[in-house]
Amino acid sequence: MQRIVSARQLESAKNLNWVSLIADIMLAGMVVGPVTAPFLAASGVSLLGKIANIIYFMGDCVCPQPTMGLDLAPPYIMAVCMRCYGTVTGLLITRLLYGVTNGKGFYWLSQYGWSGAALASVLMMAYPLELAAEVFGFWSFNNYVVTPFGLITGLAWGLFTMPILHGWQTAKTN
């Protein structure tokens, strides 16, 4: 049996923003993975435990303090610390905001060119500055302290990159 492809289907596939789709899949993995890893590990199911090990390995690669994750399914902890998860939360918030506003608003930093990049870079320094303050002994690790610093970094990163990742094709067609 022969399948007939309509012009609308071809146009739809041609207009699919692959960068946006891949970015959304990666963000979904970063939001869900660290939280589900302890529950997968605690399940006792071999395959789920192997998936949890992959998530924990990825968390170890990106998080400077993965042993400080929240204790969600004792003795298993989140795959990243709350500083990193605060960053991911900031990215998620900006992705949802971009979906609602479609990139319209004064707060999207990429529209300001180098000035927006500079402001985003300064705000993104919240995470490493807080980590440095902890390393140099100004305070000890506390989830209530590290989470907002990660959130500020994620918001800054998202306010700069979401229009770039999700709006490039609409700008090209207009």
171 pLDDT band, cuts 50/70/90, is: very low
Who contacts 167 (Cβ-Cβ below 8 Å, separation ≥6)? Answer: 98, 102, 103
174 pLDDT higher than 50: no
CA–CA separation, 66 and 57 (whole Å) = 10
Lowest mean pLDDT among 11-15, 62-66, 84-88, 131-135: 11-15
Mean pLDDT score, 133-160: 96
Pick from 22, 151, 159: nearest CA to 89: 151
- Average pLDDT of the residues of the chain: 90
Mean pLDDT of 131-142: 95
pTM of the model: 0.86
The predicted-structure confidence for 12-42, as pLDDT tens digits, reads as follows: 556 678 889 999 999 999 999 999 999 999 9
- Residues of the chain with pLDDT > 90, as a percent, come to 83
Q: What is the pLDDT of residues 87-104, one digit of tens each?
A: 999 999 999 999 999 989
In the predicted structure, residue 105 carries a pLDDT above the cut 50: yes
State mean pLDDT over 71-79: 96
pLDDT at 12: 53
Neighbours of 19 (CB within 10 A): 14
Per-domain boundaries in the chain = 7-173
What are the Cα distances from residue 23, in Å, to 34, 72, 162?
17, 27, 9
Q: Count of CB atoms within 10 A of residue 29's CB?
A: 13
